[in-house]
Amino acid sequence: GELRAFHNTCRHRGSQLCQESEGRLKARLITCPYHAWSYSLRGELVRVPSKSLPDGFDKADHPLYRVALSVWRGFVFVNLAEDAAGSAQSSFDPASGNLGNWPLETLVSGHVLRKVMNCNW
């Protein structure tokens, strides 16, 4: 499959869609807990239960907001901008060239540390 990243908010009222910070989705749809708008894993709005939609409402006009995603040697980087300038790799310190000698794709996690940082990749 293809990796995709979206803002975790419903296009209807901005409700948080996924409550968990990690794991697998339990269904093939992402459903808003507020009014049950449902999105495909491609971010397309596929179901709107409300019958009182305005004339001319088109589900195709209301997909989830995409964010930029970049994969580098098994690491996934997300930038909250939809069209980020450059890639994650292009923003690395030049010293990251030394990482070419390490088999990063074959390493496994021994410990997880989470840190929120004010950066764009």
Are residues 26 and 62 located together in one domain of the fold? yes
Are residues 92 and 53 located together in one domain of the fold? no
Does 97 fall in a domain? yes
Does 121 fall in a domain? no
Are residues 58 and 7 located together in one domain of the fold? yes
- Beta-bridge mates of residue 26: none
Query: Under a CB-based contact definition with an 8 Å cutoff, are residues 21 and 89 in contact?
Result: no
Does 113 fall in a domain? no
Structural domain for 24, as ranges: 1-66
What average pLDDT does this structure show over 29-38? 93
What's the pTM value of the predicted model, to 2 decimals?
0.76
State which of 20-34, 52-66, 95-109 shows the largest mean pLDDT.
52-66
pLDDT in tens, 55-97: 899 999 999 999 988 888 788 888 887 777 777 777 666 666 6
